[in-house]
Amino acid sequence: MKFGIMVSAGPYTHQASDTAYYFTEAALKNGHEIVRVFFYHDGVNNGTSLGVPPQDDRNITTRWSALAEKYDLDMVLCVAAAQRRGLLDENEAKRAGKDVSNMAAGFNISGLGQLIDAGIQADRLLVFGD
């Protein structure tokens, strides 16, 4: 089965990001396809390279990055939501006149069209978060 995943909650605000991660990992391990993981609203905060959780806590961003690398997973941050929250890749940083990008490895930035495309390609689009 093909799944599209949308994550709309931040990494440490409640369980949605963890649940999305564990579902995505389990689906991939069981031979399912993940068309795309789209991070929307506060969910874009999963893609920051600047988060530093305590050493005894999980690092959700690192988990997502490792999963993307292992499975060649397409992970997209909504460009408008990301910009509002100060998350920029190199191109968006230049366009905004900023001198630094802060997007974690494995994440890309794009528009809502990518979410619509995931919904079209997938058999099911699952939403994690409010």
Residue 109 annotated among the catalytic residues of the structure = no
User: Which pair of structure tokens corresponds to residue 71?
Assistant: 């499975």
Burial class (CB in 10 A: 0-12, 13-18, 19+), 32: middle
Question: For 10-30, b where at least 16 C-beta lie within 10 A, e where not — what string?
Answer: bbeeeebbbebbebbbebbee
Q: Which of 7, 44, 78, 87 is catalytic?
A: 78
Per DSSP, 99 falls in state: S
- The length of the chain in residues reads 130
Tell me the backbone φ, ψ of residue 102, rounded to 5 degrees.
Answer: -135, 30
Dump strand ranges (E) for the chain.
Answer: 2-7, 33-39, 75-78, 107-110, 124-128
Q: Could you list the active site residues? A: 78
